[in-house]
Amino acid sequence: MPPTQFSSGDAIADRRADYARMLSEGGDPAAAAELMEQALDLAPDWAAGHLRLADYREKAGDLQGAAEALRRVLDLDPEDIFGASLKLAVIGARDAPQLPPSRYVEALFDDYADRFETALLQKLDYSVPRDLAALLAGTVGERKFAVAVDLGCGTGLMGVEIADRVERLEGFDLSANMLAKAAEKGIYHQLAQADLSQPATESGLFGEGLGEGRADLIVAADVMMYLGNLEAVFDLVAALATKDAILAFSVEDGAGEAGYALAESLRYRHDETYVRALIARHGFDTLETRRQTIRMDGGKPVAGILFIARRMP
């Protein structure tokens, strides 16, 4: 997100906020919260400052105070670019939203784009695109595809894995910066912004030259965990798919949870039964699944499920 979001516009307030950050990093979040409150006395409408205050209060064990600060963030930023509604849910101050704020997801990945591949591949041991492509090959063999749609294409990691088996490759993502990185790979015939949480007519997936029923391969590598309720995205998948289309995607494993749940990471986990039901209800048949670690997070493995499904005649 824009760096200006992290400045109050008041030099003294910024200086106190910097000292507060150092106190928190030094292991004294209570003192950091107190100093951050002083900074916000000078800049009461600084949304990012209230977000920092919430973080320090939460670390100090003051969940009620953290919730108050997060509600102030939402008052100042109704579009919720900072994901305050998700953070409120994680600390138990409200129910988890069915979908994350689109502006939060867009800003998150716009900010992340330049270091995305380095972080995932070198630091988080991320291999979902490669593994999903291998599972696809093991399920459908050497089948070639006329049109593949890469949902939430990011910087194009999944596109690279499937480009040699498709005639036309389309990539869609909410983040313009991620799309710019994907374009550098030179493998996509079409790249455009799209919001997978929206109905078909508002999603950005359909329009001039982009009709329904055009894709015989639809992929979504590590996209569903940023959506929560998956009804809307499966509606889009069903509208995109040809009569014999293949769908390949991943989720974070919500084993034992009913449907889906918001994790502390602010990503969503999905139960296999819930996902299988959506697959069937939207006219697909599950061909193959695989449980595996999909990345590391804070030094701990994140469990996921890979799915391959086929549109039923």
Hey, where are the domains in the chain?
3-95, 110-311
pLDDT, mean over the chain: 94
Tokens 């910087």 belong to: 155
Q: Using pLDDT thresholds of 50, 70 and 90, give the confidence band for residue 5.
A: low
The CATH architecture of the domain made up of 110-311 is: 3-Layer(aba) Sandwich (3.40)
pLDDT digits (tens, 9 = 90+) for 240-284: 999 999 999 999 999 877 899 999 999 999 999 999 999 999 999
What is the structure's pLDDT at 72? Answer: 98
Question: Would you say the CATH fold of 110-311 matches that of 3-95?
Answer: no
pLDDT digits (tens, 9 = 90+) for 109-124: 999 888 888 888 777 8
CA distances (Å), 109 to each of 137, 155, 190, in order? 29, 10, 20
What is the structure's pLDDT at 3? Answer: 37
- Which of 1-15, 188-202, 236-250, 294-308 has the least mean pLDDT? 1-15
Tokens 């549109």 belong to: 311
CATH class of 3-95: mainly alpha
Could you write out the DSSP letters of every residue in 18-54? HHHHHHHHTT-HHHHHHHHHHHHHH-TT-HHHHHHHH
Dihedrals phi, psi of 268, to nearest 5 degrees: -100, 140
Q: Looking at residues 222-235, what average pLDDT do you find?
A: 96
pLDDT digits (tens, 9 = 90+) for 93-147: 999 999 999 999 999 999 988 888 888 877 788 899 999 999 999 999 999 999 9
The rounded distance, in Å, linking the Cα atoms of 47 and 73 is 5
Q: Is the CB of residue 310 less than 8 Å from the CB of residue 285?
A: yes
Q: Is the CB of residue 67 less than 8 Å from the CB of residue 79?
A: no
The rounded distance, in Å, linking the Cα atoms of 50 and 81 is 13
